[in-house]
Amino acid sequence: MLIMRHELLLVLIAVILLVVEIFLPADRKHRIILPAILMFAAATVIGFLPGPTGTLFGGMYSTSAFTVLLKNILTTGVLIVLIQSVDWLKKPQHKEKISEYFLLIIATLIGMEYMISSGDFLMFYIGLELATIPIAALAAYERFEEKSAEAGVKLIFISALSSGILLYGLSMIYGTTGTLYFSEVVNGIDGSPLQILAFIFFFAGMAFKISLVPFHLWTADVYEGAPVNVTSYLSVISKGAAVFIFTIILYTVFAKIALMWRDVIYVIAILTMTLGNLFAIRQRNLKRFLAFSSIAQAGFILLGIIGQSQLGMTTVVYFVLVYIFSNLGAFGVVAIISNRTGKETIDDYDGLYRTNPKLSLTMMLALFSLAGIPPVAGFFGKFFLFTAAAKEGLYILVLIAVLNTIISLYYYLLVVKAMFLNRSDQPIAYFKSDAYSRLGLVLCIAGIVIVGFASPIYEMILRLSFGIY
């Protein structure tokens, strides 16, 4: 029981929400928000408490200190997302489906946690599906908005396609090794042509989920169409979970053919960073802008994965942690402004600092963290990723990556320029954001500032990731 405590707690919350939802009168549906968030916060805190580790179902499901850490990182991120969405959920047109939002988010989170804890490909696949399909419903949450509905449909098609490809790859692995258990597949991996084909399918399927170039084409449209808070969930939590399990499987199951996937990742990393960055420069809509920036960030993460060592695993997890706080900070600001004024383009942000200084400063810190500028955490995250790649002697790759951070700095500075340098005739007027949004942003800023300076966090990840590699 306790081994599965993360998932079971979430299931419990989901059931409670479902039951309460039935008994709430229609005009009081919004009252569910605070209890739901409190319950989720309690679950987050409980997740950090020490508990037993072990395997269940004959090895299909396993919990270690490391998977607990990954789950806690994701849960913390989701908590921030939930807090940030309150302001938006309170809009009158969402009155009737507030608890659905929580249910869907929690369902996907359960899927991600199963995925991370999976000990065989079947469990992994079920978790993956559970983590993707509800998101499509979330993307279409504002179903009367054309773009939102479009985003939902696009996401479901892409998910189905990528899952199909992935599944095809898994079937080949089963065909060649005769098993689906990670621990047994490892022994059967010998680099035969069919297995390499299987690996390519697996890789492509995961690349869709992480939105690596050339499998990224859905990202910008879906990110733009979906409601801001769903976009931030999609770009941070969903991507983070996929990165975690992708790294774990590469490092454990496919460790033997590392020489083959290293070159693939080398090329894909360069493509992803460069194309993501170059497309981001052209964007005027902030959601599309952040979509492409998140594609580029995924490219940087590959640099850590290519490290293929304990250092690599640690830096990837550390970077995702930093990325969660930074990106949620940026999306948080975009969400607040979008909810209050409906403005979403960079030009709308002209002169924002003079009317809303605190929001602008938060945005600047978050963007600097994404760009990797000290003293905020993004600098440490990026630098350590580069360290992992340099450890393998890939100095040229590091150089290309750092040059890419300069490109990214350019477009992040464009937003800073709009907020701080430009003057506008009609700036976004001063407004006071609600307590939830502010709490969400404060949490993000705390994360952005503290995670970098507090080396114990990094050391803890390093210690726990020991078992994986």
Q: What is the binding site for another protein (CB under 8 A)?
A: 368, 373-375, 379, 383-384, 386-387, 390-391, 393, 395, 398-399, 402-403, 405-406, 409-410, 413, 416-417, 420-421, 455, 458-459, 462
The tokens for 81 are 């997302």
Residue (241 or 371) nearer to another protein, CB? 371
Nearest-angstrom CA–CA distance, 100 and 14: 10
**Smallest separation, CB 355 to another protein (Å):** 13
Residue (87 or 392) nearer to another protein, CB? 392
Distances (CA, A) of 176 to 327, 365, 381: 41, 50, 38
Q: How far is residue 147 CA from its own chain's centroid?
A: 22
Residue position matching structure tokens 């503290």: 450
Residue (187 or 455) nearer to another protein, CB? 455
**Smallest separation, CB 416 to another protein (Å):** 7
Residue (280 or 409) nearer to another protein, CB? 409
**Smallest separation, CB 106 to another protein (Å):** 35
Other CB atoms within a 10 A radius of the CB of residue 147 amount to: 16
**Smallest separation, CB 421 to another protein (Å):** 4
Nearest-angstrom CA–CA distance, 177 and 187: 8
**Smallest separation, CB 386 to another protein (Å):** 6
**Smallest separation, CB 319 to another protein (Å):** 14
Residue (178 or 374) nearer to another protein, CB? 374
Residue (123 or 398) nearer to another protein, CB? 398
Other CB atoms within a 10 A radius of the CB of residue 79 amount to: 18
**Smallest separation, CB 414 to another protein (Å):** 9
**Smallest separation, CB 23 to another protein (Å):** 50
**Smallest separation, CB 93 to another protein (Å):** 39
Q: Name residues whose C-beta falls within 8 Å of residue 360's C-beta, 6 or more positions apart in sequence.
A: 352, 353, 419, 420
Q: Write the DSSP string, 230-268.
A: HHHHIIIIIHHHHHHHHHHHHHHTTGGGHHHHHHHHHHH
Nearest-angstrom CA–CA distance, 17 and 3: 23
**418-420-425 Cα angle (round to 5):** 65
Distance spanning both ends of the chain, measured CA to CA: 27
Q: Name residues whose C-beta falls within 8 Å of residue 411's C-beta, 6 or more positions apart in sequence.
A: 277, 280, 281, 283, 289, 293
**Residue 181 three-state SS:** strand
Residue (88 or 380) nearer to another protein, CB? 380
Distances (CA, A) of 109 to 76, 190, 376, 398: 11, 34, 28, 33
Residue (105 or 461) nearer to another protein, CB? 461
Q: Name residues whose C-beta falls within 8 Å of residue 180's C-beta, 6 or more positions apart in sequence.
A: 120, 121, 122, 170, 173, 174
Nearest-angstrom CA–CA distance, 429 and 412: 23
Residue position matching structure tokens 């210690």: 463
Q: Name residues whose C-beta falls within 8 Å of residue 386's C-beta, 6 or more positions apart in sequence.
A: 303, 398, 401, 402
Residue (52 or 393) nearer to another protein, CB? 393
**Smallest separation, CB 293 to another protein (Å):** 16
Residue (395 or 431) nearer to another protein, CB? 395
**Smallest separation, CB 463 to another protein (Å):** 9
The tokens for 224 are 């733009």
Handedness of CA 150, 156, 160, 162 (dihedral sign): positive
**Smallest separation, CB 375 to another protein (Å):** 6
Residue (431 or 466) nearer to another protein, CB? 466
Other CB atoms within a 10 A radius of the CB of residue 193 amount to: 8
Residue (220 or 461) nearer to another protein, CB? 461
